[in-house]
Structure 1
Amino acid sequence: MCGRYALGVTCPPADDPKRLAYIQQHLQDQGMQVDEAPDDDEVRETYNFAPGNFGVVYRADITDKGSYDHQQDADSEHQTKTSENEDNVSSNNKPEDSMAIKYKLQSMKWGLIPFWTKRQPDYGSMMRTINCRDDSLIEDSGMWTSMKRRKRCIVICQGFYEWLKKGPGGKEKVPHFVRRKDGELMCFAGLWDCSDEKLYTYTVITTSSNSYLKFLHDRMPVILDPMSEAMKKWLDPGRNTWSRELQSILKPYEGELECYPVPKEVGKVGNNSPNFIVPVDSKENKSNIANFFANAKTKGGSDPSPKKKTSPKMKMVKGEDSRLTKDSEWSEDNAPKPVPAVKREHSPKAPGFTEEVKKQKVNSDLTGLSPQRKKLRSATHNSPMKKSSGIKAEDGSLRITSFFKK
Structure 2
Amino acid sequence: MCGRYTLTADEQAIMEEFGIEKLVHEYEPRYNIAPGQKVLAVIQTREGKRAGMMYWGLVPSWAKDPQIGYKMINARSETAHEKPSFKRLMAEKRCLIIADSFYEWKKTESGKQPVRIFPENRSLFAFAGLWDHWKTEDEERFTCTILTQEANEFMQQVHHRMPVILPKEQQEQWIEPVKWSSDHAHQFVEQLTMEDLDAYSVSTYVNAAKNEGPACIEPLVEE
**TM-score computed with the length of structure 2 as normaliser:** 0.89
2:179 pairs with 1:201: no
Match of 1:235 in 2: 175
Deviations 1:269-326 (A, max 9, x none): 1112313223214xxxxxx77xxxxxxxxxxxxxxxxxxxxxxxxxxxxxxxxxxxxx
CA–CA distance in structure 2, aligned partners of residues 47 and 262 of structure 1? 12
Deviations 1:30-77 (A, max 9, x none): xx43244211xx24532011111111001113xxxxxxxxxxxxxxxx
CA–CA distance in structure 2, aligned partners of residues 150 and 114 of structure 1? 13
CA contact under 8 A between 1:5 and 1:159: conserved in structure 2?
Answer: yes
Aligned positions of 1:143-222 closer than 5 A: 143-167=85-109, 172-196=111-135, 197-222=139-164
CA–CA distance in structure 2, aligned partners of residues 128 and 253 of structure 1? 28
Identity of aligned residues (%): 29
2:9 pairs with 1:23: no
TM-aligned CA distance change 1:277 to 1:208, over 3 Å: same
Distance apart, 1:21 and its partner CA: 4.0
TM-aligned CA distance change 1:108 to 1:254, over 3 Å: same
Where 2:182 maps in the other structure, the secondary structure is coil
Aligned positions of 1:68-87 closer than 5 A: none
Mind listing any 5+ residue stretches in structure 1 that lack a counterpart? 12-19, 62-99, 282-287, 290-406
CA–CA distance in structure 2, aligned partners of residues 211 and 103 of structure 1? 34
Match of 1:380 in 2: none
CA–CA distance in structure 1, aligned partners of residues 77 and 175 of structure 2? 16
More strand by share: 2
Q: Which amino acid aligns with 2:48?
A: K
Q: Which amino acid aligns with 1:45?
A: P
CA contact under 8 A between 1:210 and 1:253: conserved in structure 2?
Answer: no
Q: 1:34 aligns with which of 20, 36, 48?
A: 20
Corresponding pairs, count: 219
CA–CA distance in structure 2, aligned partners of residues 174 and 144 of structure 1? 32
Q: Which amino acid aligns with 1:239?
A: K
Match of 1:302 in 2: none
2:70 pairs with 1:127: yes
2:211 pairs with 1:271: yes
**TM-score computed with the length of structure 1 as normaliser:** 0.51
Q: Which amino acid aligns with 1:259?
A: A
CA–CA distance in structure 1, aligned partners of residues 108 and 150 of structure 2? 21
CA–CA distance in structure 2, aligned partners of residues 24 and 57 of structure 1? 12
Distance apart, 1:241 and its partner CA: 2.2
Where 1:233 maps in the other structure, the secondary structure is helix
Distance apart, 1:22 and its partner CA: 4.0
CA–CA distance in structure 2, aligned partners of residues 177 and 248 of structure 1? 29
Q: Which runs of 4+ in 1 moved over 4 A?
A: none
Greater relative CO, 1 or 2 (CA 8 Å, sep 6+): 2
Greater Rg over alpha carbons, structure: 1
Q: 1:52 aligns with which of 6, 24, 36?
A: 36
Deviations 1:112-171 (A, max 9, x none): 111111x3333xx322100000122243x521122111100010011100000122xxx7
CA contact under 8 A between 1:34 and 1:102: conserved in structure 2?
Answer: no
CA–CA distance in structure 2, aligned partners of residues 241 and 36 of structure 1? 31
More helix by share: 1
CA–CA distance in structure 2, aligned partners of residues 205 and 172 of structure 1? 27
Match of 2:61 in 1: 115
CA contact under 8 A between 2:5 and 2:103: conserved in structure 1?
Answer: yes
Distance apart, 1:237 and its partner CA: 1.5
Distance apart, 1:253 and its partner CA: 5.2
Q: Which amino acid aligns with 2:65?
A: Q
Mind listing any 5+ residue stretches in structure 2 that lack a counterpart? none
Where 1:149 maps in the other structure, the secondary structure is helix
Q: Which amino acid aligns with 1:225?
A: P
